[in-house]
Amino acid sequence: MKIAVYPGSFDPVTNGHLDIIERAAGVFDKVIVSILQNTSKKPMFSMEEKVYLLQRVTKHLDNVEIDYFSGLLVNYMKNKKANVIIKGLRAVSDFEYEFQMALMNNKLEPNIETLFMMTSSKYSYLSSSIVKEVGKLGGCLKELVPDEIINEILRKIKNEGGEQNGNPITN
Ligand code: PNS
């Protein structure tokens, strides 16, 4: 079974992420979307919220699982018996950092390959940060994040004033 891991911060998931997840799900037997538990960055969305949003927008994909990890990605991958890292590339500006990470991961664990997918051009301007900024400033999130989570993301941005409080989003 070919298992790929799509790692990231997903703070929050965008249509650009979902595009990569859907396409990777068509190529691999199983795709684990894994959220980094990063203690040094202060995310807007709690881990519970990120998991909830990702589960909601991928529920049509039977071979996609949502998980989280901390520490080295390659160690997590060994535990999951996965040997392919999926990354999305939006623009040339992503390349240098992604290239460095891919080489480092390969140095740490030579059996692990990084495969890059070019983000669909209609999403090449998208990032979680820009989605949060547009939402905070009252802009429309249609076509930036999946329709079914627009209201939840806006509610979070408005209610929390951009701060994470650790409570899962509830309907
Ligand atoms: O969505 P992001 O923030 O660009 O994702 C970055 C991520 C999670 C893929 C990257 O920070 C990562 O893999 N972190 C885990 C720590 C690690 O393994 N570092 C060594 C490889 S460079």
pLDDT in tens, 5-42: 999 999 999 999 999 999 999 999 999 999 999 877 78
User: Angle formed by the axes of helices 128-136 and 147-160, to 10°?
Assistant: 60
CATH code for the domain defined by 3-121: 3.40.50.620
What separation in Å is there between the alpha carbon of 99 and the centre of ligand 1?
A: 12
Active site residues: 17, 41, 90, 128
Give the mutation target among 20, 36, 70, 74 for probing the ligand 1 site: most ligand atoms within 8 A of CB: 36
Residue 2 has pLDDT above 70, yes or no: yes
- What's the pLDDT at 92? 84
Cα distances from 77 to residues 3, 73, 122, 142, 162, in angstroms, run: 9, 6, 31, 34, 32
Nearest CA to ligand 1 atom 7: 8
What separation in Å is there between the alpha carbon of 155 and the centre of ligand 1?
A: 28
What's this model's pTM, rounded to 2 decimal places?
A: 0.93
- Measured from CB, residues less than 6 Å from any atom of ligand 1 are 7-9, 36, 72-73, 101, 104-105
Residue 73 has pLDDT above 70, yes or no: yes
* Token couple for 3: 């298992």
Q: With 0-12 CB in 10 A as exposed, 13-18 as middle and 19+ as buried, what is 156?
A: buried
Residue 163 has pLDDT above 60, yes or no: no
Q: Which atom of ligand 1 is nearest to the CA of 71?
A: 16
Nearest CA to ligand 1 atom 20: 72
How many other CB atoms are found less than 10 A from the CB of residue 126? 21
Give tens-digit pLDDT for 52-65.
999 999 999 999 99
Nearest CA to ligand 1 atom 4: 8
Nearest CA to ligand 1 atom 13: 73
Cα distances from 34 to residues 4, 37, 41, 63, 133, in angstroms, run: 10, 9, 16, 14, 24
